[in-house]
Structure 1
Amino acid sequence: MFPGISGSELEADVTADVSALYEDGITARKGAFSVSWVNRLREDVEAAFEEARGRAGGAVGRGPNRYYVEMHPEQIDGFVALVDHPWVRSVCTAVLGPEYRIVELGFDVPLAGAVDQPWHRDFPVPEETRRERRLTSLAFNVTTVDTTPDMGPFEIAPGTQWDDGPDFEHGMFPPRSRYDRYRERAVRKYPLRGDISARTALTIHRGTANESATSRPVLVLGVDGPESANGERHDMAVTRGYWDTLPDRVRRHLDCPLVEELTPVTQKHTIEGLVMGDA
């Protein structure tokens, strides 16, 4: 199942994780990071969110009271610890091959009052996936809070990454006639600080209504295989000084330009179908 490598070449045994990604579309590693590491991550995310909301195009709506913000690696203190984690590296290598590329860093923030999103996937099914049933990208998520049922948990319909058809609006939004299938399969996730998940963004999912008084920021790390072009939707960059501090095996997978000075990211990937929620 591993593309051109043997399991012995991996830093962690992710055989079960690869199977779960192909069968269910999602997998996770509990307690991958310390709570103190996550608490620092949340501080960085909250600072980036405040900055992004103060400028045009910084925080993009993903539904009422729900936002997405893209950021640069050096905006979070724990970037290297995240991308160089043995489980993250092993899942990327096992699913996408040794030439995988880190193309996106951002976060979702469902604020208090966020409503149910429509069922969706994050982009249309690539031809390699349609023809060969092969995954060509992954999204990793790290919660910055301990998720409770009233905080608008992430909901996913396992096994629906292979669903497709001309009736999907923009290749991403299934018609309401299919919603019963997703409701029957739906699983809500309640990760705690320190947990990390990996999923294919093709599996049908949605954010649910946040009925608490607390926001639920979730870090997003996007990774492409060699044939994927999701990086074209993102503007992640690093300064030359920061690049020089990175381990070689992180630099090898970091697909972004080197700049003298960072420019705040204006998000390109607006998902219009999410703006109004599941009205």
Structure 2
Amino acid sequence: MIQTTDTAKFTTTDLNRFAEELNRDGICVIRGLFERRLIEEWGDAFNELFQKRQNQPGGLAPREQSRYYLTFPWVAPFANVDVFANPVILGILDRVFYQEYKMVQLGADIPVQGSDYQEIHRDFRPLFSDQIVTPLYALAVNFPLVEVTADNGPFQMARGTHVMPREEGLVKVAAGEIPIESFYMQPGDVMIRSPLALHRGSPNRTNTPRPMVVMGYVMHWLHTAKVDLTVQRDYYESLPEQVRELLRCHVVEQLPENKVETYVNFKY
């Protein structure tokens, strides 16, 4: 397994800036965090897994027309401490989460040819109500396994809408007061975003899938019934205690052969 990530070039000042952007805009993008060799390794493994899941009943969760969600098995190359416990990513999370947090999700969003614009939505509800600003209690960490261009379905989001009522945000987006931006990314780039910010997927007009990895992190008290991590005991017990504490997972003696996806309802 390739273990290399380029963390040395990010300073404390950089981490503070990313945290400020995340709090203010609901998103930050870390350019060139992961080595391209690592992304290529994940991409090769994804292609094999995606083909297998396409031929397996329930192996992919439908996400509207020609768009799918896939949970990664907790095996190499996906089970990589340098990725899910990356010091730059955790350094940013440490700055924006007020309490202990857990990793609860590892999967991919995959639009293919024939996909369309999603309805603008949130992935989570507010903590209490739209009248009370919700702190960052859940975050999605995304990175693509291919270059993300205007043609293959870039993620689109309206900055700052994570701290306003949903209907107010929708009105501002519809009026053009807040633009809905496309985020173009190179292999190795990483995006951290609030799932409360208004966003949507856009069409993939190419003949190649556009896999976007999603790692989910939440405050330790948040119940996350729709997603889960299943980890084999020998791997789990090989991890340092601090890394084991990061994971909220089911520990099993043997990973299941066939995964049936259940994370279908995802819009609020």
Give SS of 2:58's match.
Answer: coil
Task: Flag the 1:90–1:273 CA change in 2: closer, same or farther, 3 A.
Answer: closer
Structure 1 CA distance, aligned partners of 2:147 and 2:247?
Answer: 29
Give SS of 1:131's match.
Answer: coil
2:180 to 177, 186, 192: 186
Structure 1 CA distance, aligned partners of 2:145 and 2:247?
Answer: 23
Q: CA RMSD in A?
A: 2.5
**TM-score, normalization by structure 2:** 0.86
2:143 alignment partner in structure 1: 142
**TM-score, normalization by structure 1:** 0.83
1:100 alignment partner in structure 2: 101
Structure 2 CA distance, aligned partners of 1:57 and 1:25?
Answer: 33
Give the conservation status (yes or no) of the 8 Å contact 1:129–1:136.
no
1:76 alignment partner in structure 2: 77
- What do the CA deviations read for 1:213-263 (whole angstroms, capped 9, x no partner)? 222101100001123222x21231111111123233221101102101112
Shift of 1:164: 2.7
1:228 alignment partner in structure 2: 222
Task: Flag the 1:164–1:95 CA change in 2: closer, same or farther, 3 A.
Answer: same
2:45 alignment partner in structure 1: 44
Are 2:140 and 1:159 equivalent residues in the alignment? Answer: no
Count of paired positions: 256
Structure 2 CA distance, aligned partners of 1:129 and 1:250?
Answer: 34
Shift of 1:178: 6.2
Segment of structure 1 superposing worse, 250-259 or 71-80: 71-80
Give the conservation status (yes or no) of the 8 Å contact 1:41–1:78.
no
Task: Flag the 1:179–1:249 CA change in 2: closer, same or farther, 3 A.
Answer: same
The aligned amino acid for 1:248 is E
Give the conservation status (yes or no) of the 8 Å contact 2:154–2:182.
yes
Give the conservation status (yes or no) of the 8 Å contact 2:139–2:218.
yes
The aligned amino acid for 1:199 is R
1:277 alignment partner in structure 2: none
Structure 1 CA distance, aligned partners of 2:173 and 2:123?
Answer: 17
Give the conservation status (yes or no) of the 8 Å contact 1:27–1:198.
yes
Task: Flag the 1:129–1:29 CA change in 2: closer, same or farther, 3 A.
Answer: farther
- What do the CA deviations read for 1:97-131 (whole angstroms, capped 9, x no partner)? 46210000000111122111110111211228863
Shift of 1:15: 1.7
The aligned amino acid for 1:205 is H
Give the conservation status (yes or no) of the 8 Å contact 2:172–2:178.
no
2:90 alignment partner in structure 1: 89
2:262 alignment partner in structure 1: 268
Shift of 1:17: 1.6
Shift of 1:54: 2.4
Structure 1: give runs of 5+ residues left out of the alignment.
1-10, 169-173, 275-279
Structure 2 CA distance, aligned partners of 1:82 and 1:156?
Answer: 24
Give the conservation status (yes or no) of the 8 Å contact 2:173–2:179.
no
Q: Percent of pairs identical after alignment?
A: 27
Task: Flag the 1:273–1:16 CA change in 2: closer, same or farther, 3 A.
Answer: closer
Structure 2 CA distance, aligned partners of 1:183 and 1:258?
Answer: 47
Give the conservation status (yes or no) of the 8 Å contact 2:127–2:134.
no
Give the conservation status (yes or no) of the 8 Å contact 1:104–1:222.
yes
Structure 2 CA distance, aligned partners of 1:272 and 1:198?
Answer: 18
Structure 1 CA distance, aligned partners of 2:203 and 2:176?
Answer: 17
Give SS of 1:68's match.
Answer: strand
Are 2:215 and 1:214 equivalent residues in the alignment? Answer: no
The aligned amino acid for 1:72 is P
The aligned amino acid for 1:224 is V
Segment of structure 1 superposing worse, 219-228 or 54-63: 54-63
- What do the CA deviations read for 1:188-223 (whole angstroms, capped 9, x no partner)? 011100111100111101111112222210110000
Structure 2: give runs of 5+ residues left out of the alignment.
1-10
Structure 2 CA distance, aligned partners of 1:235 and 1:134?
Answer: 23
Give SS of 2:48's match.
Answer: helix
Are 2:235 and 1:242 equivalent residues in the alignment? Answer: yes
Structure 2 CA distance, aligned partners of 1:222 and 1:59?
Answer: 18
Q: Which runs of 4+ in 1 moved over 4 A?
A: 181-184
Give the conservation status (yes or no) of the 8 Å contact 2:103–2:247.
yes
Structure 1 CA distance, aligned partners of 2:216 and 2:241?
Answer: 19
